[in-house]
Structure 1
Amino acid sequence: MINNIYALAHEVTPLTMAVVADHGENGIPKTIVLEEQETFTVRDSPSKIIEDACKFFGSSLKGRQDGTRGICGITHKAPISIDPSCGMYFFPTASPSNPKCSWIAHSHVEQVNKGPYRQTEVIFKNGRTILLDVSFGSMLNQVQRTAQYRYLLDNRLKYVQRNNADVVAEPYP
């Protein structure tokens, strides 16, 4: 069941598929948050919602972007991991400072297709689709860069878990 619910704020979870920039009837910016089963309309910008999610998990958007840069060298439109333990990897469709920037959850993307007028259709694993004002090439690049980043970060986390499994923190004297 998909409802359009107005929310004052929204918490990003593993069920969040996309945080999409939109403009209301009066041209007032708003954000459409697509969850697996529901849709919310929020007044905050997409990047503010992502920033709040990063802070909830102990970092900031800038901190997550710096982490991406350190792991794989991506500096512009960097994908981020809001919480790698939950598989929450998101990528921006434009510069996060651009009010038209939307954020897409990598783990929910099934397919991307060329749309009309330099748009791209995103098909999610649950069958829902959205049409974004982003070129197909740019969107495909973002999906691939996020996959690369995800692979590298997941391998680092697995390495740390394997090699530190027996390490116990010692009390400071």
Structure 2
Amino acid sequence: MKEIFNDYAITEHTMILSPAAHVDYQTIVLEHNRKLFVKKTPIQLIKKACLEGGSSYDGRRSAMIYLTSCRRKVPIPIDPNKDIFAFPTHSPSQYSCEWIFYNHIRLIRSSINSMSNNPVCMITFKNGQQLTTESSYYTIEKQMYRTAMCMLRLSIHSYNVYA
């Protein structure tokens, strides 16, 4: 029997938050060596983690729009001091939106869903775990690029503020 948690704190070990259409939980959390089931939605967990990291979700989103000119599927610096950055696979307002944590990705590759014949993306994490997401390779690649840009812009901005 799986243990279901009321809440979850995003950490450096969080690799992905996936929505779950289940009566008892709303999110499946994948970490390095465990899978957790949480009653809160992925966006609720993201918003709470942003606050714990020192700013609101809306504030972090606005900053990334300003720094990168990216307006859709904006990557979020959950806690830049701990190097925790996540990107959405879809609009965060869509139920199917997964949140993937950038620093855990080793490799992505294109694949075809054998059931639907639709393109999907296979993500290999640094710990060797693999995950197939219904998002296309192109979407994941673009989101990784956007997240890298966010990380770069934040590091440049921090350097200029303190230089």
In the alignment, which residue of structure 2 is the partner of 1:150?
A: 151
Decide which of 73, 77, 90 is 2:73's aligned counterpart.
77
Question: When the two structures are aligned, how many residues end up with a matched partner?
Answer: 158
In 1, the alpha carbon distance for the partners of 2:38 and 2:141 equals 27
In 1, the alpha carbon distance for the partners of 2:3 and 2:149 equals 34
Q: Secondary structure at the match of 2:26?
A: strand
Structure 1 gap ranges (5+): 164-173
In 2, the alpha carbon distance for the partners of 1:131 and 1:23 equals 17
In the alignment, which residue of structure 1 is the partner of 2:142?
A: 141
Tell me the CA shift for residue 22 of structure 1: 2.5
Indicate if the aligned counterparts of 2:14 and 2:29 stay in contact, CA closer than 8 A. Answer: yes
In the alignment, which residue of structure 1 is the partner of 2:9?
A: 11
Tell me the CA shift for residue 23 of structure 1: 2.5
Decide which of 27, 36, 40 is 1:31's aligned counterpart.
27
In 1, the alpha carbon distance for the partners of 2:65 and 2:28 equals 28
Q: CA RMSD in A?
A: 1.8
Q: How does 1:23-102 map to 2 (within 5 A)?
A: 23-24=21-22, 30-102=26-98
Indicate if the aligned counterparts of 1:32 and 1:42 stay in contact, CA closer than 8 A. Answer: yes
Provide closer, same or farther for how the CA distance between residues 37 and 5 of structure 1 changes in structure 2, counting only shifts above 3 A.
farther
In the alignment, which residue of structure 2 is the partner of 1:166?
A: none
In the alignment, which residue of structure 1 is the partner of 2:132?
A: 131
Tell me the CA shift for residue 30 of structure 1: 2.1
Q: Give the TM-score normalised by the residue count of structure 1.
A: 0.85
Q: Secondary structure at the match of 2:7?
A: coil
